[in-house]
Amino acid sequence: MPETARARRAPVASLLAAGLVLSGCVFQQSGEAGIDGPITLGFVNGGTTQFHTCLAESVEQFARYNRARIYTADSHQDAGTELSNIDDMIGREVDALIIQTVNVDALEDDIAKAKKAGVPVFLTSVLPEDTSDILGAVVVDLKKVGALDAQWIARDADGRSVQVGIVAGAPGAASDLLVGGFTKALPDSAEVVADQPGMFDPAKARQVAEDMIQAHPGLDYAFVANEEMAFAVRKAFDAAGAGDVRIVTVNGTDEGLAALKDGRFAATVANSAADTGELAVTNTIAMLRDEDTDKIANTRVRLVTKRTADTAPLYCPPDVG
């Protein structure tokens, strides 16, 4: 692995700079073959949706379980802020960076910056085309997630000609993969009549849904890129008298599962943020210690409906106090 400047540890006071969270135990010098003592990790998160929040909780929790020191920062869906956060982490001489990027286009600069500083990068959720410069990754097969929702629509529509609307997330990263997987797997009998970004913002998603149902009163299904937006979309449709539009979405949160049970959602695809965070930390540490593990791991995904809601995996890590 690239050499890092572990011997040049900053004073404790500088490690408590504003905007970063510190937890874990005191760093120790590494051994010759991998790191044999406590490890320092930096986690740069992309935003503040429920996914991002649960992912951060999981990363922090499993860093503590593994006796690692962890710094976290939030990029607020801004690529410039993400690069600045990475600069901050490099300045803290972390042993590795875990990055939930705001945009796949930002990764090239992120990885180059960390590589120049000798800091390995481990990614969550998405991958660059060239993985040679990263330590590893844990990803959700987002195309498969979208396809599972589309396949549910195909079964439910059963050959009928139907209209489908899409409320996407933020262009440029996970949302593009989700929507691409969804549209590719739709049956020929399903026509996509609207596709607009909700920017992972419930208020924006509700406005998009209001405009969508006004322009397409015959809408049968809506694919929404996460459950937070899906709740807002449901409210917009209901207010417009379109309570029969069936919503398929993504996440598998406790609130989302409850919405399946009471009929607000028709289907969701569970992709546990807790699982992603756990794999990110444990695999990063294993690689830093030269232990055998997969470079690219996958978070499990599964379609969940009202019938199977009680068997869905935990989305967020359990609160252990």
Predicted confidence at residue 66, as pLDDT, reads 94
Predicted confidence at residue 65, as pLDDT, reads 94
Say how many C-beta atoms besides its own lie within 10 A of residue 201's C-beta: 19
Say how many C-beta atoms besides its own lie within 10 A of residue 158's C-beta: 9
Predicted confidence at residue 128, as pLDDT, reads 87
> How far, rounded to the nearest angstrom, does the alpha carbon of residue 44 sit from its chain's CA centroid?
12
Predicted confidence at residue 147, as pLDDT, reads 98
Six-digit token pair at 10? 């900053």
Predicted confidence at residue 224, as pLDDT, reads 98
Predicted confidence at residue 35, as pLDDT, reads 60
What residues pair up with 73 in beta bridges, in sequence order? 44
Q: Are 105 and 82 in contact (CB under 8 A)?
A: no
Six-digit token pair at 12? 């404790």
Predicted confidence at residue 36, as pLDDT, reads 58
pLDDT in tens, the chain (321 residues): 443 333 323 332 232 233 333 333 333 333 334 565 689 999 999 999 889 999 999 999 999 999 999 999 999 989 999 999 999 999 999 999 999 999 888 899 999 999 999 999 999 988 888 999 999 999 989 999 999 999 999 999 999 999 999 999 988 778 999 999 999 999 999 999 999 999 999 999 999 999 999 999 999 999 999 999 999 999 999 999 999 999 999 999 999 999 999 999 999 999 999 999 999 999 999 999 999 999 999 999 999 999 999 999 999 998 744
Predicted confidence at residue 103, as pLDDT, reads 84
Predicted confidence at residue 38, as pLDDT, reads 85
Distance separating the N- and C-terminal Cα atoms of the chain: 36
pTM flag (> 0.75)? yes
Amino acid at 18: A
What residues pair up with 168 in beta bridges, in sequence order? 197
